[in-house]
Structure formats: C-alpha cells, structure tokens
Amino acid sequence: MNTMEAQNKKTNILVLIHSDNGGTYELAQEIAKGIESDPNSKAVIKLVKESTNSKLKDLPVATVDELTSYDGIAFGSPVYFGNISTAMSEFLSKTVNLWSNHALEGMPATVFMSAGSGAGKELALQSFWNSLAVHGMVLVPNGIRGDEKIDKKVPQGNSVLGTTSLASLKDVKRPTESERYLAALQGKNFAKVASALKGTFSKKEISVKEEPSINTILKSKNIVLPQVPKPAGNYQPYVRTGNLVFINQVALKDGKILNPGKLGVNVDENQVKEATELTMLNVISVLNEAVDGDLNRVKRCVQLTGIFNTKDDYTKHADLMNIASNLTVEIFGEKGKHARATFGASSIPVNSSVEIQAVFEVEQ
C-alpha cells in the first residue's frame, strides 16, 4: 500500500472550531490527540474564520465545500449566551446548500465548548446539537464516560452532550487536567464511531459559492494597510453613529505628508494620484479599526468625497478621484460602489494635495 492509499484508508476527522481567546483551541488539541490515539484515524484542526490571535492565526480556515469530504466532524465553539458563538453560527448558516442536498446526512458529529463560568453550557451544547440534527448528522454524546476519574474537588466542565471547559474559573489552570482527559476520551470514542460508520454515507461533492474574505483579497492584491494616522487636532479618527462610520483623511504617511502642494505648481497629476491612493488606504485603515479588524463587517461604501488642491481652472478632478474609487471597488467588490463628489480647493490642511471624506455602512 502506498502513502496515498494509506491516507485514504484512514478515518479522516475534521475538528472545526471558532475560538476568540484560545480556550476552545486547547480543548480541540485534546480532542485531536484522542482521535489520533487510534492509529487508523487522522485529525485536522481548522477554524471557521480567520483569527488575528497569535495562538490561532496560523491555523487553516475551513471552507463549507470541504465538509462532505470527511468521515466525521468534531465541532467546537465558545459558549455565547447559552448558545453557539456568532462565528460558528455564521459558518453553519452557509451550509444551507449542503442541507438541501442531504450532503451531511449520516456523517458522525460530536461537540465541545469553552465556557466562562459554565452558565448555560448544556443549553449551548444542546443548541449545537439542534443545528447538526437538522443536517441529519449522527450525534455522538459523552454520557458519563470518564466521570469516575475526574477530580471532583474543583468544578469541571463535564457534560453528557460533550466536554466543556469552565475557562473563567481560575481556581486551577483551565482547561483542567480532568477537562483535558474528558476531551481526549471524547476524541478517542468519536474516532471509534467514525471508523465504524466510514463508508456508510455518501460523500457528495457540493459546491458552495463563498465570497473571499476582505483580508484574503488584501493579501492576494499585496495591499498592506498603513498605520492609523493620529488625529492632528481635537477630533476623532472616525465617528460611528448607528450603522454609519464617518472618516476624513489626508495623505499622511509615517507622520509626513506624501507629495505635498498644489497640483500644477509643486506636484503633478501622477504625484496627486499617488497621494490619493495613500489617502484612501488611510481611510480603509481607520475603517478597519472601526470594525475591530473585521472588514467583512462593512456592508457598503456609501459616499466618497475627494477634495484636491488645484488651480482655479483645473477640471479633471474625476480622474484623480477614480484612483480612490477603483481601489474601494477592488477591495470591497459590489459593496465598494458608492456615490461621489469631487472638488478643488485653494488649500488643504498641512499642505496635503488631497483630502478624502468617506461614509461607510457597517453591520451592527
């Protein structure tokens, strides 16, 4: 048997998680260890969405398409208000196409969660089960497996539906040794069930069209957002009111104005275009801060206003502003299309050749 055949013979299990602070990831590692304690099973841990957390940022991100290719999925998430986390819920909401094609029916699933105090943890595990039951997945509980060996002197996250960790109880290091032990046992048992069910359900390839994340688009276009410029007066880099974010920027780079001056006097059109691109990147960098680093929460660019330091008889402001407009559409696609105003001014603060005012609509 060659390596490829050996891989295909193995029971391949996805450990699919969302984690904010790493607690769920720690449990996921124990689940994976338990799975791989069976030499014929292989575990891969993936995130439902990219993370900037240093513990998580190098983990691969799963696509909805790939779910049907596994022999079983162990789902992990933080407890959010007695429920699964928003990111896990968003990921599952993208599986409608798999659902209507019966694509996950008969595939085994198991769940684990990182909680704070543990308030509502069983409700949260149950809500995980609800979503997976709708898919017709075969839910594998823990029962009281391993309970006789856990340390009862401190509260533990044991639950019949799946392992949890009570991460905010700092009486001992969390996940506790017992919580880790239960997670590993859960993984081991899950591998046993997944191996037994391997080949009993069809692995349909269902293509689901997923929009690439804004961070992926930025990376693929080699666009690096500049540092958020510091305000030069008594104002905020942005103001959010309701769902709207208001931002104004000039061509500031590392504390200095790029290509300062008046078009046709000390700068030419190409230099103003370069300054316009930088100014728009400054705007997007501030916007990134306004949405806590998740530019996918931008619903649309509503309006851009470009002000250029030009002579009285200059008329081609639209060409200059297209640089900012094109960049916005390049990054945000349809959501980047906006209303626009451009005009010339006899001077602009700090001698910038351009100023951009922007209004974006963002998610709640």
Ligand X SMILES: Cc1cc2nc3c(=O)[nH]c(=O)nc-3n(C[C@H](O)[C@H](O)[C@H](O)COP(=O)(O)O)c2cc1C
Q: Interface with ligand X by CB under 6 A: which residues?
A: 19-24, 78-82, 114-121, 167
In whole angstroms, how close is the CB of 76 to ligand X at the nearest point? 8
In the bound state with ligand X, the residue whose beta carbon lies nearer, of 51 and 309, is 51
Question: Is the Cβ of residue 81 or residue 343 nearer to ligand X in the bound state?
Answer: 81
Q: Contact 143/149 with Cβ under 8 angstroms? A: no
Q: Considering the complex, state which of residue 55 and residue 221 has its C-beta at the smaller distance from ligand X.
A: 55
Residues in the chain: 364
The minimum distance between CB 24 and ligand X, in angstroms, equals 3
User: What is the pairing mode between strands 252-253 and 256-257?
Assistant: antiparallel
Least CB distance from residue 121 to ligand X, whole Å?
Answer: 6
Minimum distance of ligand X from residue 113's CB (angstroms) = 7
Which of 118/229 has CB closer to ligand X? Answer: 118
Kindly give the interhelix angle for 269-290 and 317-332, rounded to the nearest 10 degrees: 40
Question: Angle between the 23-36 and 177-197 helix axes, to the nearest 10 degrees?
Answer: 50
Chain centroid offset of residue 102 CA = 27
Q: Minimum Å distance from CB 22 to ligand X?
A: 5
Closest CB to ligand X among residues 155, 231 = 155
Q: Which is nearer to ligand X, 21 or 215 (CB)?
A: 21
Q: What beta strand segments (E) does the chain contain?
A: 11-17, 41-47, 72-78, 108-115, 138-139, 164-166, 238-241, 244-250, 252-253, 256-257, 298-309, 339-345, 354-362
Cβ atoms 156, 180 nearer than 8 A: no
DSSP label at residue 227 = P
Strand partners, 252: 257
Specify the pairing of strand 298-309 against strand 354-362.
antiparallel
CB of 114 to ligand X, least distance (A): 4
Q: Residue 167 or 275: which CB sits closer to ligand X?
A: 167
Closest by CA to 19, choosing from 114, 90, 91, 122, is 114
Least spacing, CB of residue 12 vs ligand X, in Å: 24
Q: Classify the C-alpha dihedral 178-179-180-182 as positive or negative.
A: positive
What's the min distance (Å) between Cβ of 15 and ligand X? 13
Distance CA 302, CA 290 (A): 15
State how far the alpha carbon of 75 is from the alpha carbons of 100, 144, 297, 309, 364, in Å: 21, 19, 24, 56, 26
Q: Which of 63/117 has CB closer to ligand X? A: 117
Shortest gap between Cβ of 153 and ligand X (angstroms)?
Answer: 20
Contact 279, 324 (CB under 8 A): yes
* Amino acid found at 60: P
Q: In this complex, which beta carbon is closest to ligand X, that of residue 54 or of residue 270?
A: 54
